[in-house]
Structure 1
Amino acid sequence: MSLKVGFCSVLGEEMLEKLKSKNISKIAEFICKDPEDIAQLTGIQYKDIVCIRNVILAKYSSITVNGSEFYNSVVQSTTILTTGIKRLDNVLDGGLYTGEVTEMAGDVAAGKTQVLFSVCAATAKQANQTVVYIDTGAVFSASRVLQMIPNNSSIKEDILSRIHVYDAFTIHDVFGVLDSIEGSIQAASDPFYSKLKLVIVDNIASVVYPFLGGSSFSESQGLLSLLGQKLKSLAVEYSVAVMITNNVVKGDQGTRTASLGRLWSHIPHVRMIVTHTDQYGGSTRNVTVVKNSRGGCSVCGELNIGDNGPIT
């Protein structure tokens, strides 16, 4: 950003020209130099240099935060949600963290949605926790979610009331649901949203693929970036965990990697790849953490996804 006349009461046209003559035309260039050096270089009075500097710092500097207070606020606002699958919790350092976006990528029929059903059930089992499930493929199954709950559970009948399902078949539908969630949280009139701890988007790729590779590359990339930032903002500002599923593609040297390219790769805080243990399918999957902003990667665990009952 460039220095301009009127930026500060003492910064006039003559002073600006003196600064420019010494190659100091941008705010960054001005703030990086010592005020005494600028005064000697330009002949501008030291007190005027300090005045301009103070205005810049007041307008653009970040507010300082006490480290101990910041740590305590993070601890108080962070909740670790169990996935309902012990092996997966171990891979994820305890489960899903509020304030983060967790992505699970895999081939079609790799079991991603089944894991989401387990996460839904495990979160909704808690009386003070609710879930929003954004369904882009009309795959949500209430009966399958209930299968994830032990038959002797006394709260089984209340589980579905703690899960709101929204159909969203285009990226604009997804934006609409996310805006609605944010508005409901801010309004604080619905107790469901005051207890919201988890937002799920299944499957993110299905609403993104249709507009990728179109005639306007910049527009499609802008929409993708905006969607990612919207999910991260929702997670951080309202202390909810966001979990999304994605497809996989072949990356460098034939390795399996999450789709949507490098721009999207910066969105998830945690990314997992789910694969079948053998080429003929079966009920066992491998889960590998390939990105984790909090801990180690390449941690593998096996999941057994059967036709009925909880995932083990």
Structure 2
Amino acid sequence: MVMDADERAEMYDEEEFKLTDIRGVGEATARKLREAGYVDILSIAVSSPEELSESAGIPLSTAEKIVQEARKLVRLDAFKKAKDVLKERQEAARLTTGCKALDELLGGGVQTKAITEFFGPFGTGKTQISHQLAVTVQLPKGKGGLEGSAIYIDTEGTFRPERLVAMAEYVGLDPTEALENVYTVRVYTTSHQMLMVHRAEEIARDYNVKLLIIDSLTSLFRAEYVGRGTLAERQQKLGRHIHDLLRFAEKFNAAVVVTNQVHSRPDSFIPGIDTTSPIGGHVVGHAMTYRIGLRKGKQHTRIARIYDAPDLPEREAVFTIDERGVVDVV
């Protein structure tokens, strides 16, 4: 018996879908799709036929049919009632940063089902905050944690497990157990970086991952795609990568935290005014849920400022970094 897409959608939930459930996709085509990074039906449904054809090496006409059938399966054309969306939003939680000033700035901490970006110049605390969140996510919910584990994708070679040990001791966690709950990988290319986000989904299913960190989001893209002639290709690839991160956040009710570098804008130079901006342009800017800019303050302090947030006003918080981690200024 051949079922149409609507009938199959009623029989399976999203977790049970396989690529071969898409009408017209056999094992050979499914293998090509997986090798191209399309590991589930949703990733196909939100792609364009042109993108799918080029990435998987299949005819455009075939890609058009596959995308159409995938969209039927996951019901991308179905509207939701606002009350249902509200119920889904109420499932989102807040993860403490371990610093009261930063938590207050963020409305209670880093939110799940969202991407939070920390950007700023070298030495402003981006990597320190990332390390600390990898520890605090393991705390009990009563202490602001999510009782989960963390995945740390390191693009610049700055991950330091010994830093986690010091931070874990300060918040009262056993350092050995804290290290057991952080899964890290050093990546060297943009394709490697994107692949590991897909691998992260496999780990998340088995190890209650509640935090995914990429430190930093754009450094490899910036290194690989040099010059204006490669800008369009870079931005398209970066956009697909960010989509994967958003999907991860929503699928696992997890917090996604990315760090980002900044660059100067010489065309808008104004003496005494910071004219730097985060890397990635509009593709990154429009996709981030929360954008937090970091800069150095007086007497070894750091200043965090909300630049963009759907539910928080623009404001600032002051914190410091010492051997304990990211802490409040006394």
Task: Compute the TM-score of the two structures, normalised by the length of structure 1.
Answer: 0.71
| Deviation of the 1:151 alpha carbon | 5.2
| Contact in 2 for aligned 1:136/1:169 (Cα 8 Å) | yes
Q: Which runs of 4+ in 1 moved over 6 A?
A: 58-61
Cα RMSD between the aligned structures? 2.4
The answer to whether the Cα contact below 8 Å between 1:197 and 1:241 also exists between their aligned partners in 2 is yes
TM-fit CA distance, 1:63: 2.6
Whether the aligned pair in 1 keeps the contact of 2:126 and 2:259 (CA below 8 Å) is yes
- Match of residue 274 from structure 1: 294
The CA distance in 2 between the partners of 1:262 and 1:72, in whole Å, is 30
Q: Is the alpha carbon distance of 1:152 and 1:208 closer, same or farther for their aligned partners in structure 2, counting shifts above 3 Å?
A: closer
Q: In structure 2, do the counterparts of structure 1 residues 152 and 264 end up closer, same or farther at CA, with 3 Å as the change threshold?
A: closer
| C-alpha distance in structure 2 between counterparts of 1:207 and 1:152, whole Å | 33
Cα distance in 2 between the residues matched to 1:146 and 1:290: 32
Q: 2:85 aligns with which of 70, 82, 91?
A: 70
Q: What are the Cα deviations for residues 167-193 of structure 1, in whole angstroms up to 9, with x where unaligned?
A: 1121111111111112344xx4x2x1x
Deviation at 1:237, TM superposition (A): 2.5
Q: What SS does the corresponding residue of 1:73 show, helix, strand or coil?
A: helix
Q: Quick one: structure 1 residues 300 and 151, their matched pair in 2 at CA, closer, same or farther if it must change by over 3 Å?
A: closer
Q: What's 2:317 paired with?
A: 301
Deviates more, 1:62-71 or 1:131-140: 62-71
The answer to whether the 8 A contact 2:161-2:179 is kept is yes
Measured in 2, the distance between the counterparts of 1:311 and 1:152 equals: 11
1:83: how far off? 1.1
Deviation at 1:149, TM superposition (A): 2.7
Corresponding residue SS for 1:180: helix
Hey, what does 2:308 align to over in structure 1? Answer: 291
Q: Letter of the 1:305 partner, please give it.
A: I
Provide the secondary structure at the position in 1 that maps to 2:287: coil
Q: Which residues in structure 2 correspond to 1:252-267 (within 5 Å)?
A: 252=268, 253=270, 254-267=274-287
Gaps of 5+ in 2: 1-71, 141-145
| Alignment match, 1:169 | 188
Q: Does 1:113 align with 2:132?
A: no
Alignment-derived partner of residue 160 in structure 2: 141
* 2:203 is the alignment partner of 1:159: no
| 3-state SS of paired residue (2:108) | coil
1:40-87 C-alpha deviation (Å, 9 max, x unpaired): xxxxxxxxxxxxxxxxxx9999434343333223313x1211111111
Instruction: Report the counterpart of residue 209 of structure 1 in structure 2.
Output: 222
The residue type paired with residue 204 of structure 1 is L
Structure showing greater Rg: 1
User: Is the Cα contact below 8 Å between 2:115 and 2:258 reproduced in 1?
Assistant: yes
Distance 1:165 1:250, change over 3 A: same
In 1, are the aligned partners of 2:168 and 2:174 still within 8 Å (CA)? no
Q: Which amino acid aligns with 2:165?
A: L
The 3-state SS of whatever aligns with 1:290 is strand
Tell me the equivalent position of 2:109: 95
Aligned AA for 1:218?
A
How many residues were matched structurally?
243
Q: Which one of the candidate residues 193, 197, 202 is aligned to 2:210?
A: 197
Amino acid at match of 1:294: D
SS where residue 287 of structure 1 aligns? strand
Instruction: Summarize the Cα distance change of 1:285–1:152 in structure 2 as closer, same or farther, 3 Å threshold.
Output: closer
**Which stretch of the first structure deviates more once superposed, 78-87 or 125-134?**
125-134
TM-score (norm 2): 0.68
Q: Measured at CA, do residues 70 and 204 of structure 1 come closer, stay the same or move farther in structure 2, by a change above 3 Å?
A: closer
**1:196 partner letter:** V
Contact 2:164 / 2:175 at 8 angstroms: preserved in 1?
no
Q: How far is the alpha carbon of 1:205 from its aligned partner?
A: 2.4
Structure 1 stretches lacking a partner, 5+ long: 1-57
